[in-house]
Amino acid sequence: MTSVLSSTRLPCGNRVLDLARTHVMGILNVTPDSFSDGGRFSQLDAALRHAEAMVAAGATIIDVGGESTRPGARAVSPLEEMERVAPIVERIHRELDVIISVDTSTPAVMRETARLGAGLINDVRSLQRDGALDAAAATGLPVCLMHMLGEPGTMQDAPHYDNLVEEVTEFLVSRIAQCAVAGIAPERIILDPGFGFAKTLQHNLSLFKHVESLHALGRPLLVGVSRKSMIGMALNRPVGERLYGGLALAALAVAKGARILRVHDVAETVDVVRMIEAVESAE
């Protein structure tokens, strides 16, 4: 099942994302404490080299994050986040032909990175921080709204739903409406079901099974499950051994109409997407 979109062209700053096909978004964590690759790319040159490698491997979007959102992660000040994120956004914009997504909930970071060349705002808090709606609207950039209950530090404290898919849908509908009030048109919105955020293993599996229902909202879907605990718990694998489970979910996400796959393992995921495209385009 594929998304029903009014337009397949999504302007992202000075570039355009063609949503007629599935894109691979490479994760670039410039943090010391992310759950999978914390500290590996916190230095500017290392971060740029990794971004270059992901673009060479086929990523069409690089998602730069300066605040870990793993359960229990420490809070980061706006200044610290800015110092981590802004320099790499500026360098990638200057040196690489790729759309830059900024994984942030911080209004000042949204405004500054948009000025430096970012093309997409990816906010796990769905623009609920004070000033975030206005900041995102002012940038003119598209935004990705993700479902989450509470804050990352406490989101896994016994999350409960009476009707999981219905409640995720209602949350996203509400955030789309709030964006419209702030001047962010639905055409600028991408939706993320929020796998791993305020959800148990069974919540994640059920939401993935029924994710097609979110196409009724008429916006492209981003799926981010790379190396997450849902794979680890389902397969009894540590973080470093979750590639195959992640690729299975990537293939399933494409089949279910996802338009952006947010991943650590870019080359392998690009192969999955291209293989599916080759089959689907055959006579």
Q: Is 228 a catalytic residue?
A: yes
Q: CA angle at residue 241 from 239 to 246, to 5 degrees?
A: 85
Question: CA 94 from chain center: how many Å?
Answer: 22
Contact 190, 220 (CB under 8 A): yes
Out of 228, 242, 256, 259, the active site residue is 228
- Closest alpha carbon to 145 in 178, 99, 119: 178
Q: Is 262 a catalytic residue?
A: yes
Out of 199, 256, 259, 262, the active site residue is 262
Reduce the DSSP state of residue 184 to 3 states and report it. Answer: coil
Residue 117 and residue 105: Cα distance in Å, rounded?
17
Contact 125, 131 (CB under 8 A): no
Residue 62 and residue 52: Cα distance in Å, rounded?
10
Measured from the Cβ of residue 263, the count of other Cβ atoms closer than 10 Å reads 28
Question: Where would I find the H helices in 101-242?
Answer: 107-116, 132-139, 164-182, 201-209, 229-235
- Closest alpha carbon to 26 in 10, 13, 41, 44: 41
Residue 30 and residue 43: Cα distance in Å, rounded?
7
Contact 17, 61 (CB under 8 A): yes
DSSP class of residue 215? G
Retrieve residue 185's tokens. 């048109």
Active site residues: 228, 262
